[in-house]
Amino acid sequence: MRARTTVVALATVVTLLGLAGPATADSGGSPSPAAAPTGDGAKGLCKRAGKIDARIDRALKRLNGPVTRRGSVERLEKRVAHAKAAGHDEIATYLNDRLTFRKSLVATLEKRRTDLARVRSWCAAHDNGAAS
């Protein structure tokens, strides 16, 4: 009798804490799918454009910073050179791969900056996405 009471109490706790998964109306136990998007999100993008622009500028400032700036391309280039000079080939390879990615990130962020400038002008012409 005691074991059955423990199982019932445990099942109640699991249900109350929501650990049993989402409760559904159908007997299949799977949750219903999310609704399909109804628009392109222009209003939200226009609203966040200023913050996105600030984030891109901050990231580019860090990446294009001097050798003393953590996260800069120049600093990572110097680390690669030090690893090669010390004969640490595996470390140099790893850091060089990171450097390749970081350089491509600069190009990607520059492209996003120009795209975002066009989005901001579109937002200005279309009442911040509300008139679409």
Please indicate, yes or no, if residue 108 is contained in any of the structural domains: yes
Per the structure, the complete domain to which residue 70 belongs is given by: 41-132
Please indicate, yes or no, if residue 28 is contained in any of the structural domains: no
Return d(Cα 132, Cα 122) in angstroms, integer: 10
**pLDDT tens across the length of the chain (132 residues):** 555 555 555 555 555 555 555 555 555 566 777 777 677 888 899 999 999 999 999 999 999 999 999 999 999 999 999 999 999 999 999 999 999 999 999 999 999 999 999 999 999 998 887 765
In the prediction, which pLDDT does 39 show? 78
For the whole model, what pTM was predicted?
0.66
In the prediction, which pLDDT does 10 show? 52
Q: Total structural domains in the chain?
A: 1
111-120 long-range contacts, CB within 8 A, separation 24+:
112/56, 113/53, 113/56, 113/57, 113/60, 116/49, 116/52, 116/53, 116/56, 119/45, 119/46, 119/49, 120/46, 120/49, 120/53
